[in-house]
A = this chain, B = another copy of it.
Amino acid sequence: MPPSSPPEGSLFGGVFGRGRVAAEVGDRAFLQAMLDAEAALARASAKAGLVPAEAAEAIAAACQAGRFDPAELGELAAAAGNPVVPLVRQLAERLPPEAAGHVHQGATSQDVLDTAAVLVARRALAPLLDDLGGAADACAGLAAAHRDTLMAGRTLLQQAVPVTFGLRAAGWLVGLDETRRRLAQVDRDELAVQLGGAAGTLAAFGDRGLVVLGDLAAELDLAEPTVPWHAVRVRPATLASALGTCAGVLAKLARDVALLAQTEVAEVREGGGPGRGGSSAMPHKRNPVAAVAVAACAARVPGLVATVLGAMAQEHERAVGGWHAEWEPQRDLLRLVGSAAAWSRELLEGLEVDPARMRANLDATGGLPMAEAAVAALAGPLGGRRARELVDGAARRAAAGGRPLRDTLLEAPEVADQLGPAGVEAALDPARYLGSAQALIDRALAAHG
């Protein structure tokens, strides 16, 4: 199976399940994670002397997703309200009696399902973090390569003052690094095992509850929580939030790319593989498919984060629906952000940049984006207010008449006197009005490390 294909492919998987994350959050992967939780529980209980070692090993050996049918379990789940109950029953049925009685011993369904969800998150975050890292590396490459590539800075979609494309890429880079760092922190600190038994006291483990809890965490290489978190859902909310922020960063860069790739702007375009971005009806088009896909994935994320946050008001020791409401959205969040990260990496690694067009667009309005620079150049000799008045007038005349700002500026005697043609030329050179752009790019690259 190629890396871009979800193992449980779906009709819209090309857009929403790209990359390697989808495979980690599918039904089969989730089922395996539930079985891994049961196996680890059996082993931890054996270590604590609560389950015979052979029974634990027999249980662990039977915990293979291939032996179970997710759809059947899903259907059976209707009776109890979750798929752990039928899974435990089927698992026990596949074991000799002396092991069967020890399956799931001391635990409740939520312990297994929550721990499985955490394992799924851990396994999904690995490729996600990798793709974010690849995307950030590509951004760093763009920032370095285009540190001097002049481009119009644009505010409210209007050309403002010059920037460089490298600075834009540096902004993306910092966002990617910040969100990647946070996700890595969540991966390390917040992915904790859940074990509490029927109501969080670990009562069915007698006086060995905390020992089993600790060993279970060690067994699965997950964090050990201070107390069971079955109904205090800081951890799922924290993961969802970090994914939400990540989606926002990816959405920002995708929107920038789609805007820069517009026919009328044409400053970048996505690298094309065979057939990439073609239109069935319009042979000449090169659609920004990756940017579209990232935008589509990301647009779905805030609503899912809100769902997870809204589900936190969970009743007593187990919620009436709030807990259940997390199951699919958390997987959707991983899948969508994973897909957006994979698409973003492709997009950034293959991005074709057209510095000449960037320069042409910057010059297309005859120097208007340099008006602020002209004010600055004239403010010394003439004072800020007068400088502003003169430049405002020249800019208005330039815009109205479609003439270069250079010419309308020189029409003003004060300007001609103070700066002369060469001085105006210099004042209007965008390469001289980049402020701290180079230093900011350096800071971004240094922080990327």
Assess whether A35 is interfacial by the CB under 8 Å rule: no
| CB neighbours of A174 from chain B (8 A) | 225-227, 229, 232
- CB of A443, distance to nearest CB on chain B (Å): 5
Give CA–CA (A211, B255) in the complex, Å.
Answer: 32
Given known pairs A5-B75, A284-B368, the reply for A31 and B11 (CB within 8 Å) is yes
Given known pairs A200-B153, A201-B161, the reply for A226 and B302 (CB within 8 Å) is no
- CB of A345, distance to nearest CB on chain B (Å): 14
**Residue picked from A213, A287, A316, A385, most chain B C-beta under 10 Å:** A316
The answer to whether B9 and A79 touch across the interface, beta carbons within 8 angstroms, is: no
Interface size on A, residues (CB 8 A): 193
Give CA–CA (A107, B202) in the complex, Å.
Answer: 50
Give CA–CA (A83, B375) in the complex, Å.
Answer: 23
How many subunits of this chain does the assembly comprise?
A: 4
| CB neighbours of A310 from chain B (8 A) | 248, 299, 302-303, 310
The answer to whether A156 and B288 touch across the interface, beta carbons within 8 angstroms, is: yes
Contact of A245 among B14, B238, B364 (CB under 8 A): B238
The answer to whether B13 and A71 touch across the interface, beta carbons within 8 angstroms, is: yes
The answer to whether B154 and A316 touch across the interface, beta carbons within 8 angstroms, is: yes
Assess whether A27 is interfacial by the CB under 8 Å rule: yes
Assess whether A23 is interfacial by the CB under 8 Å rule: no
Assess whether A223 is interfacial by the CB under 8 Å rule: no
Contact with B along A148-160 (1 / 0, CB 8 A): 0000111111111
Given known pairs A78-B18, A296-B324, A325-B299, the reply for A435 and B73 (CB within 8 Å) is no
Assess whether A313 is interfacial by the CB under 8 Å rule: yes
Assess whether A298 is interfacial by the CB under 8 Å rule: yes
**Among all A-B residue pairs, the 6 with the closest Cβ atoms:** A295-B321, A9-B71, A248-B312, A153-B199, A203-B435, A303-B303
Question: Can you offer 22 A-B residue contacts whose CB atoms are under 8 A?
Answer: A84-B280, A108-B280, A153-B201, A161-B203, A182-B238, A202-B435, A203-B434, A206-B435, A213-B436, A226-B443, A226-B444, A234-B248, A284-B398, A284-B399, A284-B405, A293-B321, A295-B322, A295-B324, A299-B325, A300-B307, A305-B305, A306-B306
